[in-house]
Structure 1
């Protein structure tokens, strides 16, 4: 008796779309299966593996995606077509929702208007270089006709749609240009992996914008003045935790009372709060290393105990309006705090304290430098901040690194003693 897949002579007959696996002359195994592209055509797609099992696993994944309706970018697809596919099918599975939202906005606002109609297969390094140069040297309001669109919505003209025309000089920052380059490079690298491109035209470019912007963290005096000005504020404990422990804004806003042990003086960072898709959502922390346990200094334990008593008072005052989420830091009715409200409130407190205005995230940077000033080595600072290695800490927190270097060279002062 023969199986449904066998012919009368016993030879196995593959069903349409089942795919096949063969070993190539170079030793690799190639799996081939029919799939549909974004322009509706059916093509034969190859995936590879060092072993038969690896090729089979890649084949199963490709067939599964095809059954789920996932379509591969067409050979003649544009950069815009590919980015839409990459965001929906690759990036969405790889990054946090908040990061994906940033990717989508950046692609829609800057990458697609400049490169969207370019054929993906014809994209060259010179095209990417020209794109980045235009982002840096051309007013984006003029280039993207933002002011004209503002007028179409019934709003008054402010710059390039005025008569006579007045350019508002809306040039992108180095950080935004760097982010656009990083996004495009990551997307095109996946195009290479999927054999849609032979090489990544954005990978080997040497660009002139600075890798990281300069930043001067708060001094110990500035940090003390700020906390003193915030002492009577209901968010005093929030700023204290962010500054003393170097927590990211989302990490601090997602803290729950079950994450804090005020007996053994330990705080555990387990989740993050972000606004994504128009909603506040709790999700994972940025990296695996970001999930960490941090020791609490006794003075911060006292601050948190005072904050817990304040929250009990607010819960009683809110009565039936209180919505319990178990969070450390909430609105006056127990709901999560809108991250952007923290930014506005923080700026007001900076002005009140008479200190330099920095970003809320820069409290994390300041923490690193203040810890080093107290004699804490970079390896321990790494543990507090949740970095994967001291190298990451050193590369990001430039001011702390500068002080390390200064301390090192100062030890050679004895060479010049009279």
Structure 2
């Protein structure tokens, strides 16, 4: 129930002084005059933390109506706290501070807003305090929140957290992101230096190095041990993601009317385009083997390379069916690991898998959730070859169930451990990397295996729209930004293959021997005219 209205009053206060500057008070001879002195107000405040009584006083009003207006505002502010003792003390502390420094009495709506969101009433909320408050109210899924927390903990709080929220400027935010970019350059240089030092510290020949070389290598290895370890580089795309986190938090502060301007909106970071998908052509493979550099963050195997990987996986891994499904039908890692047998339909004229659940990682803990976007929750049509692979996998899983006996955990998942438990997504990625190395193939990430499904769409005669449907993207722009260059490359390769598939008995070019069985042409014996 609301608290009782605390005592408050309007009165006149004599400001007359004697020759020494001392207030006359009750000795003033003018007190008997009706309008002598200035108007003042008095309002009782909630007691402080120790229980001591407090009073708000203000003098110097030239009109009773102005004093009455401020008194009414004070009483309305006090009513905001209701019966909550903590809020009453917060409001009392706030008004006592205003009384001490003779600050302006705030509007009721401003205090109500600040009291409602749990931020300091005096406007001294820092960026770090607001980011913590914002995260406490986020309703997005755990893995998304983990990304926000990482951005806040690693980048935003250390560089901006100490600043007052209502004084955060474009200059503050720009300086913070410039510092993040400079740190990224430093880490990139340190990583490159460590990579070079590793080469100097390694004996790259067979057998044990001679004594002279062992001494040199020991020195180089000591230098390597003293260097900073490899660190992750905060690239441009990550900096854009960090800015999106800050913009979202500040937009919420604007909605709560704590600030009126979002400085993160005007920070310049440079263009952040999506990495383009490129094929591992023979030329690129040769360059990678020579330099160790990948041409693009998104690399895609050719059908021949993919076939070599799947052959290796079929012989060497119990997770072959999972990699086959991802490679041919573009499921994400979490969608494959989270697939339920109840949502797999192998019989009937249109075999399919309904993507309704996924297993993602929150820190290191696997968490089952629904796919991130509505477009991802869809049915994926299966080809006959994939149907056969999944049926064989189910037979294998039944054998593992019988072998595990009472140790088996029935989760209903398509892909599990040998005892039926959930597969950890990172275990799937680790096994994928092992198989890539075993097959001697150029490197791709497990996510790139999904990208390769787009290439198979093109190889099968489809276009970008067909790839959008296959990968369940929300917009065709997302598909086009990533795969258009890949499709152009694939178009050229298919064009060359199509041309080479036509047998020809070509006329020899200058300096070339005539093809076996080819008819001579253009000479005197064949009826030609001599020059």
Instruction: Please tell me the TM-score bracket, short chain as reference.
Output: 0.7 to 0.9
TM-superposed deviation, 1:278: 5.2
Superposed, 1:12-51 pairs within 5 Å as 34=80, 40-41=90-91, 44-45=108-109
- The 1-side partners of 2:324 and 2:431 are apart by 14
Which residue of the partner structure matches residue 186 of structure 1?
248
Residue 429 of structure 2 aligns with which residue?
Answer: 343
Instruction: Confirm or deny that 1:195 pairs with 2:257.
Output: yes
Write out per-residue CA displacement over residues 361-415 of structure 1, whole angstroms, 9 at most, x where no aligned residue: 12122211221232212222222212122122112335446459979xx9xxxxx
The 5 Å alignment of 1:224-373 reads 224-232=307-315, 233-264=317-348, 265-276=351-362, 279-373=365-459
Q: Deviations over 1:265-288 (max 9, x none)?
A: 111000110222653221110101
Distance 2:118 2:492 in 1: 56
Aligned counterparts of 2:442 and 2:184: Cα–Cα separation in 1: 29
Conserved 8 A contact 1:256-1:327: yes
Question: Take 2:230 and 2:406, find their aligned partners in 1: how far apart are those partners?
Answer: 51
CA distance in 1, matches of 2:170, 2:488: 35
1:176 equivalent in structure 2: 238
Q: SS at 2:367's partner residue?
A: strand
Q: Which runs of 5+ in 1 are unaligned?
A: 1-31, 47-58, 143-161, 411-418
Question: Aligned with 1:202: secondary structure?
Answer: helix
CA contact (8 A) 1:73 1:82 kept: no
Distance 1:193 1:351, change over 3 A: same
Q: Secondary structure at the match of 1:76?
A: coil
User: Separation in 2 of the partners of 1:290 and 1:244?
Assistant: 16
1:182 CA displacement: 1.9
| Distance (Å, rounded) in 2 between the aligned partners of 1:97 and 1:45 | 34
Question: Match of 2:354, SS?
Answer: strand
Instruction: Quote the offset at 1:34 in angstroms.
Output: 4.5
Q: What is the distance in 2 between the residues matched to 1:292 and 1:128?
A: 40
In 2 relative to 1, CA 250–333 (structure 1 residues): closer, same or farther, beyond 3 Å?
same
Once the two structures are overlaid, the 10-residue window that deviates more, 201-210 or 215-224, is 201-210
- Offset at residue 324 of structure 1 (A): 0.1
Taking the aligned partners of 1:308 and 1:73, their CA distance within structure 2 comes to 59
Task: Tell me if structure 2 keeps the 8 A contact 1:141–1:168.
Answer: no
Q: Contact 1:178–1:209 (CA<8 Å) still a contact in 2?
A: no
Q: For the structure 1 residues 308 and 166, does the alpha-carbon distance in structure 2 shift closer, same or farther, using more than 3 Å as the test?
A: closer
| Offset at residue 188 of structure 1 (A) | 1.7
Hey, what's the Cα distance between the residues in 2 that align with 1:110 and 1:361? 26
Equivalent pair of 2:338/2:413 in contact (CA under 8 Å): yes
Q: Could you tell me which residue of structure 2 aligns to residue 121 of structure 1?
A: 166
Structure 2 alignment gaps of length 5 or more: 1-76, 95-105, 188-222, 276-295, 497-531
Larger radius of gyration: 2
| TM-score, normalisation: structure 1 | 0.72
Q: Aligned pairs, how many?
A: 338
Please give the TM-score of this superposition, normalised by the length of structure 2: 0.58
* Counterpart selection for 2:178 from 133, 136, 147: 133
1:86 aligns with 2:86: no
**1:326 deviation in Å?**
0.4
Worse-matched range after superposition: 214-223 or 347-356 = 214-223
Q: Is the 1:80–1:112 Cα contact (8 Å) retained in structure 2?
A: yes
- Classify the secondary structure of the residue corresponding to 1:80: helix
Listed one character per residue, the Cα deviations across residues 176-195 of structure 1 (whole Å, up to 9, x for unaligned) are: 32221221122222222222
* Structure-2 change in CA distance of 1:192 and 1:73 (3 Å): farther
Instruction: Identify if the C-alpha distance between structure 1 residues 206 and 307 changes in structure 2 by more than 3 Å, giving closer, same or farther.
Output: same
Give the secondary structure class of the aligned counterpart of 1:336.
coil
SS, match of residue 264 in structure 2: coil
More displaced, 180-189 or 327-336? 180-189
**Secondary structure of the structure 1 residue equivalent to 2:263:** coil
CA-based RMSD of the aligned residues comes to 3.4
Distance 1:119 1:270 in 2: 44
Distance 1:254 1:169 in 2: 33
